[in-house]
């Protein structure tokens, strides 16, 4: 699972993402589409918790992501509840 920040009742909270997938594969290798689609699940047991937006960062090294940086792609904040088959915004 991956930690992420989200806003709930006007407060920023940390939650968990689960089921991260690329083209419906949990560990993709050799994806053959230039614009793969990403999917994830929000795991939050609080009543009424829901995704209202997302930001996807892509980096060549995990250390960059841990620092909140990207060197390949940054979707910017996207106001959307979509979390299934979200297009990766940059052709690979």
pLDDT single digits (tens) 12-31: 555 677 888 999 998 888 88
Whichever domain contains 30, its CATH number is: 2.60.40.10
| 56 located within any domain | yes
| 37 located within any domain | yes
Measured between alpha carbons, how far is 67 from 65 in angstroms, rounded to an integer?
5
For residues 40 and 52, is the Cβ–Cβ distance under 8 A?
no
- Residue that the structure tokens 């009742």 belong to: 9
Which pTM does this prediction carry?
A: 0.73
| 49 located within any domain | yes
Predicted pLDDT at 8: 45
| 92 located within any domain | no
In the chain, how many domains are there? Answer: 1
More confident residue, 41 or 10: 41
pLDDT digits (tens, 9 = 90+) for 35-77: 899 998 888 777 887 888 888 888 888 888 878 788 988 888 8
Q: Which domain holds residue 54?
A: 2-87
Cβ neighbours of residue 15 closer than 8 Å, sequence gap 6 or more = 3, 4, 5, 6, 42, 43, 44, 49
């Amino acid at each position: 699972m991956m930690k992420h920040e989200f806003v709930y009742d006007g407060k920023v909270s940390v939650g968990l993402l689960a089921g991260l997938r690329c083209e419906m594969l949990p560990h993709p290798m050799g994806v053959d589409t230039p614009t793969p689609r990403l999917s994830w699940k929000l795991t939050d047991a609080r009543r009424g918790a829901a995704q209202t937006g997302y930001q996807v960062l892509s980096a060549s090294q995990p250390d960059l992501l841990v620092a909140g940086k990207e060197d390949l792609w940054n979707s910017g904040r996207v106001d959307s509840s979509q979390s299934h088959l979200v297009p990766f915004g940059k052709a690979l």
